[in-house]
Structure 1
Amino acid sequence: MSLQPIELISFNLCPFVQRSVITLLKKGIDFKITYIDLSNKPDWFLAISPLGKVPVLKYGNAVLFESAVINEFLDEITPPSLLPTEPLTKAQDRAWIEYSSQLLMAQYMATLATSEAEFSEKQAVLNDRLSKIEAAMSDKRYFNSDNFALIDSALAPAFTRFDVIKQHCQRDLLANFPKLSQLARHYLALSYVQTSVIKEFGEVYLQYLSDKGSYLSTQAQ
């Protein structure tokens, strides 16, 4: 199948954009990425993004938004598929992809807590999200398979951020989740996960947390 030119509109720290970058890299799809400043969104972006959010995918003259939709589109136009073929299993993966967005939001809220007390409160919510994912995981290499799937594209960005926090803020937020800790190691060893973020991601991410007055950033070394 001959593909149209693909351009992904991004913010350089957005985990939802990272999901689509992982899928693009995993499937070997040629693409261009354009970064914008979300605090000063250009008019051309607002004209094509109904929600004013990233990611936005330009496919030729067509525009798609929402990372789960973008990923399924990319998967469908470049076989073999990263979704299960059995209808029930496919539906379950789609449900967990939706749930993974709640994980990312809980992680975001915890990392932006500005005091130890607020961090503890937000971490409790994050731990609840993590415990449900840990309970749902198989004993396979990835979330529910030995083969990397779209659910893994959806989950992996959270683990990229957990790793920066562990390495630089002295907080292993996965310490009480052995299956997720193992999953993190598998994800972070993949070249298409490693290269799905900007080269200076750790430094930029920590600076972002510091600029937001994050409690975690005060623990950075």
Structure 2
Amino acid sequence: MPGPVYHPVATGIASDTVTQHAGPASIVLWGGWFCPFTQRTWAALEAKGIPYQYREVNPYLKEKDFIDISPHGLTPGLQVDGRPLHDSTVINEFLEEAGSALGAHPAVPSLWPNSGDGPYEKARARLWIDHVNKAAVPAFIRLLQAASPPSQAAALAAWTTALDHITAHCQGPFFFGNEISLVDLAIAPWAVRDFILCEKRGFRRDQVSGWTAWAEALERHPAVQRTTSNRDKYLEFNQTFMRNEDHSAVAKAARAGEQII
């Protein structure tokens, strides 16, 4: 099997499709327990209370059924009544916009910021998600990949700078206040996984003002907790990055300084 070793997620979901609950639309999330981008969308489904099925997939095998859903062969992929979508950022915005038609729980607040200037705040949220995608996530991965002390120091500085830029605008406990948002879901999987940087790369949460409180709030949110897997397995999986084994398109893009999709 190409790539790293696979394990069931902590909730017991393995390689078979697992029905969570039925709803007005037939939604299947194709994902990997190990993948932070999968967790973004998985947590969005949980946060919205949208009925879905979860299907564990090995993206390294590039099987046709999965490529038909996600042309780049990257998790997550989403099927909505048989129609495909890919890219976690795009999928999450779709889930928010189409939530009621997809069977979202009516009492769940919007994942967009709740303010009087909706279009402006949506645009601002998209800019912060773009910052996470283009600055924070690549810096996280490059820090994992950094082998020598000088490269680790440079990568750690890039990671803390990227974090500091966004935490300075976090209203607390979540980015826009009391409710979790699409911005929070964009960065939550890396809050869940930053213990690896603490253990292996000398990072401390208190190096970035406001990150400890925000990260802890993200980790405590039920949608994040329900989609988080075993820490030891996360560490085992991420050893491939720390050994600079470029199994994944994400690792290759980070090494080359390219955009991570």
Query: Could you tell me the TM-score, scaled by structure 2's length?
Result: 0.73
Q: Which residue of 1 aligns with 2:49?
A: 28
How large is the RMSD of aligned CA atoms in angstroms? 2.1
Is the aligned partner of 1:210 residue 2:239? yes
Residue pair 2:60, 2:73 contacting (<8 A) in 1 also: no
Task: Determine helix, strand or coil for the equivalent of 2:179.
Answer: coil
Residue pair 2:92, 2:182 contacting (<8 A) in 1 also: yes
Deviation of 1:214 after TM superposition, in Å, equals 4.3
Distance 1:146 1:209, change over 3 A: same
Is the aligned partner of 1:125 residue 2:158? yes
Is the aligned partner of 1:50 residue 2:71? yes
Structure 2 unaligned segments of length 5 or more: list them: 1-22, 101-108, 245-261
Task: Determine helix, strand or coil for the equivalent of 2:210.
Answer: helix
Q: After superposition, what is the alpha-carbon deviation per residue over 1:88-142, rounded to whole angstroms, capped at 9, x for unaligned? A: 111100111111112122111111222333221211211221121122223x321
Residue pair 1:10, 1:34 contacting (<8 A) in 2 also: yes
Rounded to whole Å, the distance in 2 between the matches of 1:121 and 1:169 is 15
Rounded to whole Å, the distance in 2 between the matches of 1:206 and 1:175 is 21
Rounded to whole Å, the distance in 2 between the matches of 1:165 and 1:136 is 23
Rounded to whole Å, the distance in 2 between the matches of 1:57 and 1:137 is 30
Rounded to whole Å, the distance in 2 between the matches of 1:111 and 1:213 is 5
Rounded to whole Å, the distance in 2 between the matches of 1:155 and 1:211 is 21
Name which of structure 1's ranges 41-50 and 4-13 shifts more when overlaid on structure 2. Answer: 41-50
Give the 5 Å matches for 1:1-221: 3-79=24-100, 80-84=109-113, 86-102=118-134, 103-138=136-171, 140-166=172-198, 168-169=199-200, 171-198=202-229, 200=230, 202-214=231-243
Matched AA of 1:209: N
Rounded to whole Å, the distance in 1 between the matches of 2:170 and 2:196 is 23
Q: After superposition, what is the alpha-carbon deviation per residue over 1:22-60, rounded to whole angstroms, capped at 9, x for unaligned? A: 111111122122222232221221233222222110111
Structure 1 unaligned segments of length 5 or more: list them: 216-221
Residue pair 1:115, 1:214 contacting (<8 A) in 2 also: no
Rounded to whole Å, the distance in 1 between the matches of 2:56 and 2:200 is 27
Distance 1:110 1:172, change over 3 A: closer
Q: Give the % identical residues.
A: 27
Rounded to whole Å, the distance in 2 between the matches of 1:115 and 1:96 is 31
Deviation of 1:213 after TM superposition, in Å, equals 4.2
Deviation of 1:203 after TM superposition, in Å, equals 1.4
Matched AA of 2:93: E
Residue pair 1:106, 1:129 contacting (<8 A) in 2 also: yes
Structure with the larger helix share: 1
